[in-house]
Structure 1
Amino acid sequence: MQRRLMFQSLLPLAGAFLFATSGPALAETVAEQKAEIQKMRSATLARLYKVHPAAKADVQKAAGYAVFSNVGINLILLSAAGGSGVAHDNGSGQDIYMKMVSGGFGIGLGVKDFRGVFVFSTTEKLKQFTESGWEASAQADAAAKAGDKGGAAAGAITVAPGVKLYQLTENGLALQATIQGTKYFKNDDLNGR
């Protein structure tokens, strides 16, 4: 009972934090929100290409990619995260604005700010991600292999067949990505209905 009361009292705090830290949510107009997301995408890709130059060719030759900014908070037993992003179809040049949310339980205290770049090998994988949304409900932690060792693409983490993820933190490219309990879906307000 005491744990439930603590959870209920922390939930509004986590929600308020996520709202306050989501940059595009603070922009007033749809155009301003889109501009903020575009700015985040450009900065994230530039940073990714700087810390992992081979990622540029990976993104360019893919059917499409999606870039997300995620801010999370962990308050004792509750963790929550939210963010926004944009998926890009390399074939058509179309941008699809998206949102992401996640939550869970875990012991800890702190804030995690990271950027994620998903790379889709086929148009079908990109379309599935943008049209149906995507939920990483199972444990989706994976470790990247350094250099050419192990035959894996260095820095990229396979999170589903045909879908790779580059995750950037303050310190550079993450060697492990955690997307468990995260849902990605279209932002109807920015795409139009």
Structure 2
Amino acid sequence: MTYHLSKLCLLTLTALALSGCVTLHNGTTKAEKQQAILQMKNETLSQLFKLKPHTRSQLNAAPGYAVFSNANVNLVLASFGGGYGVVKNMSTDQHTYMNMGEVGVGFGFGAKDFRIIMVFDSAEVMNKFIEQGWLFGGQADAAAKASDKGAAVGGEAVVNGITVYQLTETGLALQATVKGTKFWKASDLN
């Protein structure tokens, strides 16, 4: 009984700690936070273009794209994550700042910091994402990276009119989980 109680407390504390990850962007003012998110977006896109040069033309031809920073922790049978990002409408140059949170079940152990790039196939898909924001899926991956050492395994998938790329920044994780991810507008940044 004590083992299960301590496990539940550890999972609860982890979930609470990760819920703070949603607002871990730098800055104290709205403008500073927006600038920090745009800097993360630009750095992530530079990394993506270096690894997959064809994606530059894909993004330029798309009606819009999104870039998110996410921290994820896997503890045996549960997975929790949180992050932030921005959607860019290519026809209006408008940015919509968003948050994300995820919870999952399945085998996993470790933690990782990764970036997600989403390329929208149509303006309708982009607008639906901004307004409704759900993305649900299974994930099986391995990541081993510490600082500039190790290897990052990036994924690519097409889901409901959205091409999704994942780049691992740091962490050590082995997981096979089914996750529910929620994206929503950051009311304090829009």
TM-score range, shorter-chain basis? 0.7 to 0.9
* 1:163 maps onto 2:166 in alignment: no
SS of equivalent residue, structure 1 residue 135: strand
Which residue of 1 is the match for residue 50 of structure 2? 50
TM-superposed deviation, 1:18: 5.0
Which residue of 2 is the match for residue 11 of structure 1? 12
Structure 1 residues 31 and 179, CA gap change in structure 2 (3 angstroms): farther
Aligned Cα RMSD in Å? 2.6
TM-score normalized by structure 2? Answer: 0.79
Alignment partners' CA distance in 1, 2:54 and 2:88: 19
TM-superposed deviation, 1:110: 1.2
Q: Is the Cα–Cα contact under 8 Å of residues 157 and 166 in structure 1 kept in the other structure?
A: yes
SS of equivalent residue, structure 2 residue 33: helix
* 1:27 maps onto 2:27 in alignment: yes
SS of equivalent residue, structure 1 residue 45: helix
TM-score normalized by structure 1? Answer: 0.78
Amino acid of the residue matched to residue 23 of structure 1? Answer: L
TM-superposed deviation, 1:185: 1.0
Which residue of 2 is the match for residue 174 of structure 1? none
Matched length: 171
Unpaired segments of 5 or more residues in structure 2?
142-154, 171-175
Structure 1 residues 141 and 91, CA gap change in structure 2 (3 angstroms): farther
TM-superposed deviation, 1:178: 7.7
TM-superposed deviation, 1:23: 3.0
Which residue of 1 is the match for residue 146 of structure 2? none
TM-superposed deviation, 1:30: 1.4
* 1:119 maps onto 2:122 in alignment: no
TM-superposed deviation, 1:109: 2.6
SS of equivalent residue, structure 2 residue 28: coil
Alignment partners' CA distance in 1, 2:111 and 2:27: 22
Alignment partners' CA distance in 2, 1:109 and 1:22: 24
Show the 5 A alignment for 1:169-184: 169-170=168-169, 180-184=179-183
Q: Is the Cα–Cα contact under 8 Å of residues 133 and 182 in structure 2 kept in the other structure?
A: yes
| Structure number with higher strand proportion | 2
TM-superposed deviation, 1:42: 0.3
Alignment partners' CA distance in 2, 1:59 and 1:119: 6
SS of equivalent residue, structure 2 residue 188: helix
TM-superposed deviation, 1:183: 0.9
SS of equivalent residue, structure 2 residue 71: strand
